[in-house]
Amino acid sequence: MKTIFLNSNDERVTCFGRHTFVDTMPAFCWPNSGFRFTFRGNSVALSFLPFETPYTHYVLIKLDRMVQRFPLSTGNEKIIIEGLENKRHNIEFIKITEGEGIDERIVFAGAEIQGVTPEVFVYPMSAGRLKIEFIGDSLTAGYGNLGPATEKKFHTYQQDSTKAYAAVCAELLNAEAHYVCYSGKGIYSNCNGVKNYEIPIFFNHASRVTREPWDFSKWTPDVVVVNAGTNDFVGKVNPDDFVPAVVDFLKQIRATYPDAYIFWVFGMMTESAFPYLQEAFKQFPDEKAKLLKLRCMTEFKDEQGANGHPNVKSARRQAKVVAKFIKKELKL
């Protein structure tokens, strides 16, 4: 058996989602961001840089048809998968939870691959896929979607961003997607009524930790889907502040992505902001910008997860509606 080491900055490692770098090593903080590569071998071990956080991170490893969830609490852990056939394997690493630690980024340090003739290749991806950027709050991030309706607190083990409506929608459309989302955040103000790092601000950033600017030339979506406004009204925003903030954000998105479709979806948890979103869209005449009202989870049985958020069942129902809407608007 031989062992080879794959550097995390190797050109055969493909990163997806917005990300930054720590000494050339890719760092991931957004839900559903990560990396992928293909290797030949009997085992693979992924290593990371140490980090400090009060929350345990959870990640998904997709290896061929296997999907497995792993916790990372310190970054000193290794994710090891053994007993594989000595053939080509496709592996994906996906960050599926949020956090509020000193440094909630996961930094990929490299991989050890063992086999008779170990080798690394670029992950095979089909070209020409639809590109969607999902922007929002907890509904996009999947806050509490694995938890029971009786749970009133946030626990990372009750979150899986790959099962949120946005990721399921991307899967249904076979789309390549970015997810720029942060639980508790609003357009004008946040769920606590305070103005602090709202969605139109972090939309510009490669990382919510370092807040360094994102280079928009790296990745241009065909469609932008926004799901936001719930937290503004939880925090009792003044509609006179909310409406112009929404108009300004729509203008910001259009200036950033001149050719993209912009779809704002709302109603998964409450209808409170919808009349004001309608008013904002009246003030933003744009043929490629549409507002879609979704049916609230409370209209359906067993759709509530932790802390009043939609669960996986609710997210899948909503994802089907959004995917159908996108197909119709794009004539797919």
Domains of the chain: 2-121 (2.60.120.260), 131-330 (3.40.50.1110)
Taking the model in full, what pTM does it have? 0.97
pLDDT, mean of residues 4-18: 97
Using the predicted structure, report yes or no on whether residue 101 has a pLDDT greater than 60. no
What would the pLDDT profile of 271-299 be if each residue is shown by its tens digit?
999 999 999 999 999 999 999 999 999 99
The confidence score (pLDDT) of residue 99 equals 76
Q: Which pair of tokens denotes residue 290?
A: 């549409």
pLDDT, mean of residues 44-57: 93
Q: Are 46 and 53 in contact (CB under 8 A)?
A: no
The confidence score (pLDDT) of residue 102 equals 58
The confidence score (pLDDT) of residue 203 equals 98
The CA radius of gyration of the chain, in Å to the nearest whole number, is 20
How large a percentage of the chain has pLDDT more than 70?
A: 99
pLDDT, mean of residues 233-260: 98
The confidence score (pLDDT) of residue 53 equals 84
Lowest mean pLDDT among 116-130, 184-198, 279-293: 116-130
Using the predicted structure, report yes or no on whether residue 100 has a pLDDT greater than 70. no
Using the predicted structure, report yes or no on whether residue 176 has a pLDDT greater than 60. yes
The confidence score (pLDDT) of residue 90 equals 98
User: Residues with Cβ < 8 Å from 217, sequence gap 6 or more?
Assistant: none
Instruction: Output the average pLDDT for the chain.
Output: 96
